[in-house]
Amino acid sequence: MGKHNSKEAQPKVLQSLRSDTEFTGDEIMEIFNEFQKDCPSGRLSLEDFKKLHGAHFSEGEAAKYAEHVFRSFDANGDQTVDFREFLCAMSVMTRGTLEAKLRLMFTIYNLDGNEYISRDEMLEIVQTIFKMIDKESEEVTTPEEYTDNVFNNMDKNADNKISLEEFIEGAKSDPSLIKLMAIPEALKET
């Protein structure tokens, strides 16, 4: 798949992908064929990613959010998403455990890639999401209020940053805290 052209290598690659994801061999082949159709080079750039999700990430804040999602898919940081990275991220999003999904969400919110989410990082993502969705019916009416609520409940050691452990623990103990942070359903249609 991708780099492996020999027939002998393909079963090993398929087995590796099966062990790294929650997809069956047939599902992997189906997703691979679609990926190849959409991305013949075998690598998605940010622009390719936005085009692939066109209706969902076509302009403004949605395109900005797409950049954050793309960054979380790009596991090796090479500014492209290959099939393995794409498949692994899609596996987490569609079939992953709660903890795996939360780890992926953490990478979306952790803009600078360090070990924690700062209040500014959280606010930037929340502002982007608020602009993409209708939040009129929610109790929390502003991105600032929402961010404050998340920090008040997740930042257990009050150091003004949320570690991965705090993020996972907070989300598990009070799922309403991450209702907004959930990966948009639009991404799951891929």
Distance of CA 67 to the CA centre of its chain: 10
pLDDT, tens digit (0-9, with 9 covering 90-100), for 69-122: 899 999 999 999 999 999 999 999 899 988 999 999 999 999 999 999 999 999
Q: Which long-range contacts (CB under 8 A, 24 or more apart) does 145-149 make?
A: 146/180, 147/119, 147/122, 147/123, 149/177
The pLDDT, as a whole number, for residue 174 is: 77
Report the C-alpha gap between 75 and 81 in whole angstroms: 8
Nearest to 87 by CA among 20, 42, 41, 36: 20
Report the C-alpha gap between 54 and 99 in whole angstroms: 29
pLDDT, tens digit (0-9, with 9 covering 90-100), for 158-190: 999 999 999 999 988 877 766 655 544 433 333
pLDDT, tens digit (0-9, with 9 covering 90-100), for 119-161: 999 999 888 888 777 555 455 578 899 899 889 989 999 999 9
Give Cα separations from 54 to 36, 90, 137 (angstroms). 17, 17, 27
* Bridge partners of residue 116, in order along the sequence: 163
Place of tokens 């623990």: 169
Report the C-alpha gap between 99 and 168 in whole angstroms: 7
Domains located in the chain, CATH noted: 9-96 (1.10.238.10), 98-183 (1.10.238.10)
Average predicted confidence (pLDDT) for the chain? 82
